[in-house]
Amino acid sequence: MSKENYTRKGCKDVFHAFMVKNAIYEGCLEIPHIASEKIRPKMLIPFSRAVSGTDFCSWVHFYEDDAVFERIWNNPLKYLSVLKKYQGVISPDFSLYRDMPLVMQQWNVYRSHAVGHWLQRNGIPVITNVRWSDERTYELCCMGTPHCTAIAVGSHGCVKTKDDRKYFIRGLDYVIKTLTPTEIIVYGTAPEDIFGKCKAEGISILQFDSDFMQSRKAVNA
């Protein structure tokens, strides 16, 4: 479903309607659609380092504390020229927590897709980050996400405890069944007992170590 965006004379665009201009909306919550992308990342760099970085062969990711990248929503135009220097972007990973009010989780999914759509509209390759918390968000996280293509997920900090692991696996199962991805870009660990079944179904896993994992390897080297 697409909608025409209207401007209201004398009104400041506090909701960033410009970011979803000409967007296609999906689901009952009308989440902006992010189109599929053919290019795949070979290297990742966090947004916090990308702002002043020069490793332009990388894709920019947002698997960081929300406080670090909230500015991409608050002042997106400021960072557009920066992000254009890189090979592509994984859409923002605004947090979804099981103890967070559902409406806030819905808002964060919307914001991630609004940013992703806007970056694509400005010529930047984007791969959709899919984030869920519990069963309330399994359908939500798939809204506006392309089917039968690559998606990205962050596993860092999501599979430590028994409960976290349970919800992560259930959500991943739902995502795979719903979106039938061809590839999954994993930021963080990709345990065989979780992602092995993806490989068995012919889904390619592109795993990238988190910054924490890289620092541990450096210490142990």
CA distance 211 to 45: 9
C-alpha atoms less than 13 angstroms from C-alpha of 180 in its C-beta half-sphere: 2
Domain boundaries, the chain: 23-220
For residue 4, is pLDDT > 60? no
Spatial contact of 79 and 71, defined as CB atoms under 8 Å apart = yes
CA 12 to centroid of chain Cα atoms:
28
**Tens of pLDDT along 31-49?**
999 999 999 999 999 999 9
Spatial contact of 108 and 140, defined as CB atoms under 8 Å apart = no
Collapsed DSSP state (helix, strand, coil) of residue 137: helix
pTM: 0.92
Alpha-carbon dihedral sign for residues 1, 14, 34, 120: positive
**Tens of pLDDT along 70-94?**
999 999 999 999 999 999 999 999 9
Distance between first and last Cα of the chain: 52
